[in-house]
A and B are shown apart, each in its own frame.
Chain A
């Protein structure tokens, strides 16, 4: 079945860039997503990328996709304390009927 892996924790200083990495196994993935979850809250869709793209930029967010290596990353420029949260990557396969989530990366931004 599908498997999505993320590192557990990332600590970054305010103003620096953060890079969160994700790997997946489903070669039929069509869309890959990044969600942010703050404590006690639901999931906020940050951005997504279609599998035939290798990069997408949206303000402070840059998504890079290496489809050959099945590697996805999210770069947050000028990281702020409000960016402290858990970040989940998720993939949707060719069947398109459900999301498979990674385990989440807890990002801690230090002043």
Chain B
């Protein structure tokens, strides 16, 4: 099983809403990632969790709040987003953060902020 599952697949939210994106993997991976991808652009790293601890925050605005409740789950809590935050949000996982580990991606959540 090399699957990373993201829910929901699509999300439309208003600028005053609070919503959460969810990501799950059962590969025993200890590193999990959030990426943001705008149309026709490569993914941009947002956060890295390693062994359930936040290890990298790429200067992401505080309206995005990650959470790693356990080694299989990764959430991204959204609050007071802007229309320019509309994008495909990708979750990934790897065995750990080290060099010898491939990252597997989920199918993404397509977020539209109205």
Contact = CB atoms under 8 A, between A and B. Distances in A.
B98 interface: yes
A97 B105 contact: no
Return the 8 tightest CB-CB contacts between A and B, nearest first: A101-B42, A96-B99, A30-B99, A43-B105, A42-B107, A42-B105, A42-B108, A96-B98
B53 interface: no
Interface residues of A, number: 23
Contacts of B102: 33, 45, 48
B96 to A, nearest CB: 9
A98 to B, nearest CB: 5
Contacts of B56: 97-98
Contacts of A31: 99-100
A111 interface: no
A41 B107 contact: yes
Interface string B40-65: 11110100100000011000000000
A99 B101 CA distance: 11
A24 interface: no
A53 to B, nearest CB: 13
A33 B103 CA distance: 9
Contacts of B104: 45
Nearest to A104: B42
Given A42-B107, A45-B105, A97-B56, A88 B48 contact: no
Contacts of A102: 42
Given A43-B43, A43-B92, A98-B33, 11 more contacts: A30-B99, A35-B105, A40-B110, A43-B105, A45-B102, A45-B105, A88-B42, A88-B43, A96-B97, A98-B48, A104-B42
Contacts of A30: 99-100
